Structure 1
């Protein structure tokens, strides 16, 4: 491993007198005698004795890593896993979700570490060992931590959960923020639900020759399909029929009617405004995750990892929190919702390739088998990783008999991972408290908001009482694909 460090420059040293040299020799001999004595727990240096440092380096995989330590380290290191980076994009190491949060954590005495992962894209397989190697680098460069917390956002929330479940001996607790905790199998199935509905309803009669949904030949093939469906989507938004059908596709992906914090929140019954917000999110899904990002993930997995054989879209819509909106928009357009749901039921379905599903299940499908405490937090208005993903993980943890180890909390805000620094510190403090006290204590929204305000009174505290609906699809792949 290589590293660079910013530190204070050493000034010139004055010549030492003979007496000073004798004192130095004596001190060296004394230190040798102390080093030769048997070690004891009380003789272990305190982590707080380490000075503030910024270290960067390269792991054996080629991934970069970054370490920051505060002036007075409290003995806890936070291992941060960053989110998805599209293939070919810059890939620097990071060790915190944003700079304001990073500075607050350092001020409180936390040490920070994180890697870039060796590759961009759907890199869960590579990210987990790289993150563990970054922890090894921290121990080598700084020293052993008294407590290690894994945390991450978006894809990094899935990476964090994978570390928590598969390598519990390396950490003491974990925090997933806006994470894909339903796993890779469910993530790509949910994306397929939306694109399948869009192609079937907006371009009836179109097939893989016109708009390919899975099994892309290459990146150019995915881009061409995204372009054609995107053009169809834009035309559809100009008609009442098209807007109703876009809302139906959005509901199947659980895209909320308020998903951009830069826009006003629509009234509960302002369905046209909600649909306009969903249209923007659906357009983004088609432009990137539904095609370009899927194509990259398929190359890793060795084929298509998604299926909708046997899926009942009528039942899925009936369980959706957007059901009333869809019904109202169809009624306003004079369009038959029943006929469109029948069209979805009759349309040729997509089958998955077993080896690709196995890849996702092996590398990116949480089991719920936690051995250490985990807190998850999610915004209620997330369009990219809809909040109902938390229901999938809650179910998995319950089935594994580990529910006492999991707590979930929600912030009332639109957007993906749009947490304030105070909200993020409140989450860190909550999992830290659980480890220190041995009990979760008060994890109510008011308690979390109080912690957020104490940590940073200059930013928002929006934790709220919320429970997402049930996850509508199987979220683990073994034996479930058609």
Structure 2
């Protein structure tokens, strides 16, 4: 998902290019090790990196230059990657799947930005490796293949870690979850990933995670009628944008500001503009600060999905939705445009993006309860998926008192990694309570930012996103 960074609920130490986090430790609550299930041969890891050249030395971000060396390269599929090796390496690798996704051709700068944001991993002693992915756009399996290819490059040309943690952030959490399902055994029978860390994840699969963006598109058009304008050719809103329509993000932003004045404080909007903003907030249950980001996705990413992933048909629909919260719900429900998701498009999109819940290693998640981009209720759906897939015992979910998406706080992530790796190493399954208790011990090294809510349980996804008729 597109990153949005409204002010957090707790004070964080500012870092260039990113916010800060929460740190290291996390154990307690002894529990017997979970025995992985047998893995079908079809889930063996293909040798993706047999012909890959070795990475070359590269400059580390300034923050890491004194404590790490960096390596960079471009793999045979076209993805750029960056690796950071701390001088005091703890023999653990964090393999990173980034969020977004960006549209367009990959750029090496993306990997630099990711390492800058996640430098906490290296500062905590972990090697870090991140791929830009071979292409932009919403294709989960391809991104998972690129991530696994990078792991193989690391093992072949850099070092053999004692443990590998597959880390997915935001949309990258779906990449990591899918990758953990796809790649379960190497040729010699070993696990490619020892554990999975999913942070601020989009975890309900593409067929459910983006429903509210379809709703945003149709409610916005009902209120504003300028995307498209009456003077422009009409098209189904659930395709995002026709292939041949040239529109930049600046043009879309201008249309939103024309109708909603999102570029102005609420006090400077006209009463009509503020009424429309408030209607979107109340009906879609999103903050005003996230409307622009979600509309970008509902426009440009929806077009990417329809044109490049699902054969020209849309997997998005709003049939059966009963919208609530506007000044006149009857008029709204009668006036919004209705679309039926194409069954074949849904099936193709689900195959690529929807998790199955069949992950054979420990999985730990974290989510700010007021995340404006990846709703906390998505995690409730992921828990149900893991249970249905037979992996419920291998999942521990944690939640924090943050209202940010892209980064929570420096002490959060090392705390989670310590708990996760103890689970993988010793079979000591953590609990939300044990992780919350361990976090403050890491604030001395990584700064303030612990905000775990060990008793929090998210509501079902249908409590946040309208239920609808599905193919």
- TM value normalised by structure 1: 0.71
Shift of the 345–397 alpha-carbon distance from structure 1 to 2, 3 Å rule, reads: farther
For the residue of structure 2 that corresponds to 1:421, the secondary structure is coil
- Structure 2's unaligned 5+ residue stretches are 1-51, 59-66, 186-191
Aligned pair 1:54/2:63, yes or no? no
- Of Structure 1 and Structure 2, the greater helix share is in 1
How many Å separate the matches in 2 of 1:137 and 1:379? 33
Size of the aligned set, in residue pairs, is 391
- Structure 1's unaligned 5+ residue stretches are 8-50, 256-277, 315-325, 331-336
For the residue of structure 1 that corresponds to 2:390, the secondary structure is coil
Aligned pair 1:214/2:245, yes or no? no
For the residue of structure 1 that corresponds to 2:402, the secondary structure is strand
Instruction: Return the offset for 1:406.
Output: 1.0
How many Å separate the matches in 1 of 2:112 and 2:174? 16
Instruction: Return the offset for 1:391.
Output: 1.5
Shift of the 211–77 alpha-carbon distance from structure 1 to 2, 3 Å rule, reads: same
Instruction: Return the offset for 1:430.
Output: 1.9
Q: Could you say which residue in structure 2 is the equivalent of 1:447?
A: 437
Q: Could you say which residue in structure 1 is the equivalent of 2:261?
A: 234
For the residue of structure 1 that corresponds to 2:278, the secondary structure is helix
Shift of the 67–221 alpha-carbon distance from structure 1 to 2, 3 Å rule, reads: closer
Answer whether contact 1:373 1:431 (CA < 8 A) is retained: yes
Q: Could you say which residue in structure 2 is the equivalent of 1:171?
A: 193
Shift of the 135–372 alpha-carbon distance from structure 1 to 2, 3 Å rule, reads: same
Instruction: Return the offset for 1:182.
Output: 1.1
Aligned pair 1:146/2:159, yes or no? no
Per-residue CA distance 1:73-122 (angstroms, 9 max, x = gap): 333211111111432376226389453742x4335432222211101222
How many Å separate the matches in 2 of 1:152 and 1:468? 20
Q: Could you say which residue in structure 1 is the equivalent of 2:280?
A: 249
Aligned pair 1:360/2:349, yes or no? yes
Answer whether contact 1:115 1:130 (CA < 8 A) is retained: yes
Please tell me the root mean square deviation across aligned C-alpha atoms, in Å: 3.4
Instruction: Return the offset for 1:306.
Output: 0.3
Q: Could you say which residue in structure 2 is the equivalent of 1:275?
A: none
For the residue of structure 2 that corresponds to 1:313, the secondary structure is coil
Answer whether contact 1:372 1:405 (CA < 8 A) is retained: yes
Q: Could you say which residue in structure 2 is the equivalent of 1:313?
A: 323
Shift of the 101–307 alpha-carbon distance from structure 1 to 2, 3 Å rule, reads: closer
More moved, 360-369 vs 52-61: 52-61
Q: Could you say which residue in structure 2 is the equivalent of 1:5?
A: 56
Which of 293, 298, 307 is equivalent to 1:290? 298
Which of 170, 180, 197 is equivalent to 2:202? 180
For the residue of structure 1 that corresponds to 2:203, the secondary structure is coil
For the residue of structure 2 that corresponds to 1:220, the secondary structure is coil
1:64-463 alignment runs, 5 A limit: 64-88=80-104, 91-92=107-108, 94=111, 97-99=114-116, 101-102=118-119, 104-169=120-185, 170-203=192-225, 209=233, 212-215=236-239, 216-218=241-243, 220=245, 228=255, 231-234=258-261, 238=269, 240=271, 243-255=274-286, 278-286=287-295, 288-301=296-309, 302-303=311-312, 304-314=314-324, 326=325, 337=327, 339-341=328-330, 343-344=332-333, 347-444=336-433, 446-453=436-443, 455-456=445-446, 458-463=447-452
Instruction: Return the offset for 1:467.
Output: 2.5
How many Å separate the matches in 2 of 1:469 and 1:172? 30
How many Å separate the matches in 1 of 2:457 and 2:244? 38
For the residue of structure 2 that corresponds to 1:299, the secondary structure is helix
More moved, 399-408 vs 206-215: 206-215
Instruction: Return the offset for 1:137.
Output: 0.3
How many Å separate the matches in 2 of 1:463 and 1:80? 23
For the residue of structure 1 that corresponds to 2:369, the secondary structure is strand
Instruction: Return the offset for 1:141.
Output: 0.8
Instruction: Return the offset for 1:124.
Output: 1.8
How many Å separate the matches in 1 of 2:395 and 2:284? 25
How many Å separate the matches in 2 of 1:305 and 1:226? 25
For the residue of structure 2 that corresponds to 1:168, the secondary structure is coil
How many Å separate the matches in 2 of 1:368 and 1:451? 33
Shift of the 130–386 alpha-carbon distance from structure 1 to 2, 3 Å rule, reads: same
Answer whether contact 1:254 1:388 (CA < 8 A) is retained: no
Q: Could you say which residue in structure 1 is the equivalent of 2:458?
A: 468
Instruction: Return the offset for 1:427.
Output: 1.6
Q: Could you say which residue in structure 2 is the equivalent of 1:44?
A: none
For the residue of structure 2 that corresponds to 1:420, the secondary structure is coil
